[in-house]
Structure 1
C-alpha cells in the first residue's frame, strides 16, 4: 500500500506539466544547448528558455527579471544573500538581525559569520513562533547592515510581518533579506510593496525540480554582493557556472503554475486543515503550535502530550509525515524550533508536522486524522501516566 504523503513542507513531487516542459531541454532531439553558447541555434534556444523562466520567476514576486539570479536552491540563495551582503558592507557595519527559528541555511550561515567577526542578534519568538515588529526595532544598532526574516516558518507554518519589517529596514537604510522557500506561490509576496531587498526561492517546494532555486537581488538602489562562486561571470557575476537549462525551465514553469492557481490552492489548504483539525481536536492534551490566524494553512504542527513521537510515527506507518524540518531529520535531538517556542524536551519529542499540498485529498486527511486519534489513544492507554 502506498503511503499517504503529508510531508509537502519537506519536498513536493514535480508537477506533470513541469516535468514535460523540462524534458524538452535534455536530449539531442530537444533544446539541450548551453545558454552561454551565443554562436548557434542550440545556445540561442537555451538562452531564450532561461530568459522566459527568469520572467516567470520575477513575475510571481513582482520584480524585474534582471533582478533574478539562478542558484542551486534556497540554501545557496540564503548563503549568497547573507554572506554576500556581510562581506560587501563590512566597512559600514558588522551586525545582523535574524530570528532564532530561521531555517538552518540562515542560522548556520549567521553562525559562520560570527566566527568571522560579525555580530548576530537572534530574536526569540513567542509560543507560536511569531516575531514582532517591536522586537526588530529594539534590536537595531548603528552598525546593523542586514535583517533576515523568513516568510513562512518551515516547521510551524507561521507567517511574519514582512511589510512592516521592510519599512523599518528602509527607514534605517538597512538591507532586508527574506527566506521565502516556503512562501513563494503559497502566500502573497510582492518585493516592491514589502520593501524586500533580497529574497530566496526554492524549486522543489513548489512542484518544481530539486537542485534549482533563485535569489532576487534589488537593482535600484543597487544591492552589492560579494559572490560565493567565481568562474565564468555568469548571472551578472553573482553566481558563476553553466546554467542547468532544464532545471531553470522547470522552476519557471512551477512559478507560473503556482501564481495562476494560488487563490484556489490556498482555499484548498484551508479546507483540508479545517477537516483535519475537526477530527484531531477530539483528542485531549494536544498543543497546536501553529498560529491558525497568522500562518500558511498547508503546515500544521501538533504536540501530542504523553506520546513519544517516534512511536507515533511507527503507528502511522501508512502515511509520510515529519517530526520536524527535513534538514534535521538525522538528528536525535528535539527540534530547535520547538525548543525556542518554549516546548520542553518531552513535548518536542511528542510533536509532529503535517503538511498538505496539491495532491492531498479530503479522503487523505480524513483517514490520517482518524488514524492519528486511534493511534494516540492506543499509545496513551499503554502509558503508566495515561493508562486506566
Structure 2
C-alpha cells in the first residue's frame, strides 16, 4: 500500500481551488517511489499536492530502481492519485539514457524536469519540436562529489549552459545551487528551497536525552559513513552507552560493505544498521534518539536535516555548503568536521550536554525551527514559477 500524500490547501490569494484546472503537468525524474530518498520524497510530495489543482498530473520515471537493477517495475501505476509512467533505460545511473521519454509528453501544457541529467539535456535539445513550456529544479546539479570535477565543470559550462537556455525557469533548491546556476542562466534562476514533510517524523525524538544518534540516507560514498564510524570509536571508548543507528539503502556502498566497516572497527554492539526502512520504522528508531548526525560531504539541500529538526533531534553535521546555509537559519544546528573523529565526537558530546541542561526547550526549539520549511509556501512558489512559464 502506498503511503498517502495529502493535497496542499488552496492558496488563499488564488480565489480558486484549482488554479490550473485546464492545464496538464508532466514531471520527469529519474527515480520515483518506491525509491526513497531526498529527491524522490520531494517530487512525491510536490506532485501529490498538485492533484486537484491541475487538470492532470503525470510522472515519467525509469522502470528500475538503481538499488535494485534486476527488478522491473510496472509500466503504469497510480500513486497518490498521480499517473506514473515508467520507461526503460540503459547506461549508468549517473547518466541513464532513456530516449522513450519523448513519447511520454503528449498533452502536457507544462513539463517540469527534476535534476540535471539526461532528461534535462534531451528535453532541451528537442524542445523546438514541442514548444511546450519547460521548467526545472536543480536538486544539487551533478556536483555531489569531487570525482571527475574537471569534466563536470567543462560539461556544465558548455552543454548545461546551452540546455539551460531552453527552460523558462530554473528553481534552485539551495543558495549554493543558486550561486552555481546563476553563472550560466542568470535571467532564468530563482531560489525555491526544498520543503520537507514535517508530519512524517514530527515530534518523534526521545522525550528524555539519550546517548543515541541517527543518520539517514543512501549508503553513498559522499555520505562518509566511514567517518561516522570512526567517530563512534572515539565516543564509545569514553562511554560505551553511545549508540548509532544508520538508516538507509544500498548505493555506492552495499549493505555488506557497511557491515564490514562496522566489524573492522569492532562496533557490533554500538551500531545498528537499518536497511530499506519504512518511514514508520525510522520514526520508531527516532523515538530512542536525541541527536541527528551526518558526515555528508555534499547535499543538494539537506531535507533529512530538516526532517530531523521536525522530530526534535539536535543535528551535528558536516559543514558542507548546504548544511552551512541551513545552520544560518537554524541556531541549534552544530557543525563539525567528521574527518577529525575526536573533534566530531567532542561536538556530539557537547550537543548532548546542552540538551541535558534544557531538554524540552531545545527539543521544542528544533521542532519550531523546522516549520519555516513547510510545504505550503514551497508549493505556492512553484505555482508562481508555472504561471510565469506559461506566460
TM exceeding 0.5? no
Alignment TM-score, normalising by the size of structure 1: 0.32
Considering fraction of residues, name the structure with more strand.
2
Q: Which has the higher contact order (CA 8 A, sep 6+)?
A: 1
Alignment TM-score, normalising by the size of structure 2: 0.32
